[in-house]
């Protein structure tokens, strides 16, 4: 039986999400139309907007629906008027590749350097946007985003938080984080793929990237993905009412990492010394490339990844691990295990057994040449 350990890439749809989407599809109207079909479609969108807002302790009118978390990130860094952008060196590519930004360094444990942020903001008084993710998608390391926001605001900078990987796993509260913008995505918390959202604080003027219609209060043109948004809303409701069992996830991850380290002391768990998402473990098997490991696990019926799902097809080592000071060879030997609501102890044990078998094969001495 296949084992799915790649919830940070996409968490399988929660029960009831597909039904909510099917009900929205059956409405058949355009939410911008004024007739009954349109009004019912609009109601489905606005009900979902309310649920997504409640998940992050926001007002519904501050939520802009997008086509993905990546689009939400791009809209955040491109949609505000700033002369300067600072982003952490471990941000998702959708932040890094959409901004001509200065990089904020991180420690060897993968935590943003707040002293460096303060120094960077103090050295240049131009209007600035700072972007720091709440939890890293590869290592799971939780960032001091509330503290970073306080520093940013002290220097009159705006603050964006990418909460795509953290929403549904830990508390996401826009008031507690004191952020001006925040990105989330449906499929990371058991909703459908192809729909995300950007929280935009009431005082923020946002320039739409996609123009041509009045949808989303003129912040994102295009007919809304009614069924996807309805599924997002249902998943957000489930995440709020039945949050991830962090204790169970943490116990599973501890079981996995403890057994790996017991049999392979040279294995490296990145970010293990600092707070992480309870479901995430990024483990290096020195001497074996992440591509070989991912293929070996796949052949064994186990799904893991070599890093961010949007980048897993590339052969370059993780920019996150390089930013943490890992050398290229080590960075190119890590695989990410991300647990979720579908996983049990037997899944962890299958992974450990396969990992240990691959590790043992690597350590076997080469066979003597045939005479």
Angle of the 114-122 helix axis to the 145-154 helix axis, nearest 10: 20
Cα–Cα distances in angstroms (integers) from residue 113 to residues 61, 149, 151, 160, in the given order? 33, 13, 12, 16
Q: Cβ neighbours of residue 72 under 8 Å, at least 6 residues apart?
A: 64, 66, 164, 183, 184, 185, 196, 197, 198
DSSP string, 60-97: GGGEEEES-HHHHHHHHHHHS--SEEEEETT--HHHHT
Same CATH topology for 3-11+244-363 and 17-241? no
**pLDDT value of position 369:** 44
Is residue 328 within 8 A of residue 317, CB to CB? The reply is yes
Tell me which residues are annotated as active site. 310
Q: Left, alpha or beta for 301 (phi > 0: left; psi -120 to 50: alpha)?
A: left
As a CATH number, domain 3-11+244-363 is 3.90.1150.10
- Rounded Cα distance between 57 and 216, Å, is 19
- For the chain, which residues score pLDDT lower than 50? 311-312, 366-371
Q: Are strands 196-200 and 181-185 parallel, antiparallel or unpaired?
A: antiparallel
- Distance of alpha carbon 288 from alpha carbon 299, whole angstroms: 16
User: What pLDDT score does 339 carry?
Assistant: 98
Supply 94's token pair. 């959708």
The pLDDT score that the predictor gives to residue 361 is 87
How many other β-carbons are positioned within 10 Å of the β-carbon of residue 345?
A: 12
Q: Is the pTM of this model over 0.85?
A: yes
Beta bridge pairs of residue 65: 197
- Cα–Cα distance list, 287 to 161, 169, 334, 359 (Å): 35, 32, 10, 9
- How far, in Å, CA of 64 to CA of 72, rounded? 8
Q: Which CATH number fits domain 17-241: 3.60.130.10, 1.20.120.420, 3.40.50.1100, 3.40.640.10?
A: 3.40.640.10
Looking at residue 364, what is its pLDDT? 60
The whole-number pLDDT of residue 370 equals: 44
Cβ neighbours, 10 Å, residue 21 = 22
What is the rounded CA–CA span in Å between residue 117 and residue 297? Answer: 40
pLDDT of residue 34: 96
Could you count the other beta carbons within 10 Å of the beta carbon of residue 240?
Answer: 16
What are the structural domain ranges in the chain? 3-11+244-363, 17-241
């Amino acid at each position: 039986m296949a084992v799915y350990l790649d919830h940070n890439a996409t968490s399988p749809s929660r029960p009831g999400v597909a039904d909510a989407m099917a009900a929205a599809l059956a409405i058949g109207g355009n939410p911008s139309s004024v007739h009954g079909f349109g009004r019912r479609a609009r109601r489905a969108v606005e009900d979902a907007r309310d649920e997504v807002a409640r998940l992050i302790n926001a007002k519904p009118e501050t939520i802009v629906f997008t086509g993905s978390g990546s689009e939400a990130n791009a809209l955040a860094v491109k949609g505000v008027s700033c002369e300067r952008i600072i982003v952490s060196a471990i941000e998702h590519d959708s932040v890094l590749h959409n901004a001509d930004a200065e990089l904020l360094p991180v420690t060897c444990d993968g935590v943003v350097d707040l002293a460096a942020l303060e120094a960077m903001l103090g050295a240049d008084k131009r209007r600035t946007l700072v972007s720091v993710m709440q939890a890293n998608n590869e290592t799971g390391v939780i960032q001091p985003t509330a503290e970073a926001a306080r520093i940013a605001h002290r220097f009159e900078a705006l603050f964006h938080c990418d909460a795509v990987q953290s929403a549904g796993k830990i508390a996401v509260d826009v008031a507690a984080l004191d952020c001006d913008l925040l990105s989330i995505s449906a499929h990371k918390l058991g909703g459908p793929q192809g729909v995300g959202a950007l929280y935009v604080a009431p005082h923020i003027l946002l320039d739409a990237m996609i123009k041509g219609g009045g949808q989303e209060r003129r912040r994102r043109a295009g007919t809304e993905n009614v069924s996807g948004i309805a599924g997002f809303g249902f998943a957000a409701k489930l995440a709020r009412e039945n949050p991830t069992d962090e204790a169970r996830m943490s116990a599973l991850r501890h079981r996995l990492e403890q057994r790996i380290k017991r049999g392979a002391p040279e294995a490296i768990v990145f970010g293990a010394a600092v707070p992480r998402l309870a479901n995430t473990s990024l483990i290096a098997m020195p001497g074996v490339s992440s591509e070989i490991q991912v293929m070996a696990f796949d052949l064994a019926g186990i799904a893991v990844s070599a890093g961010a799902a949007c980048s897993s097809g590339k052969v370059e080592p993780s920019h996150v691990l390089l930013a943490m000071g890992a050398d290229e060879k080590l960075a190119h030997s890590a695989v990410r295990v991300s647990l979720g609501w579908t996983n049990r102890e037997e899944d962890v044990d299958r992974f450990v057994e396969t990992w240990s078998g691959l590790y043992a094969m690597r350590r076997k001495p080469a066979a003597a040449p045939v005479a």
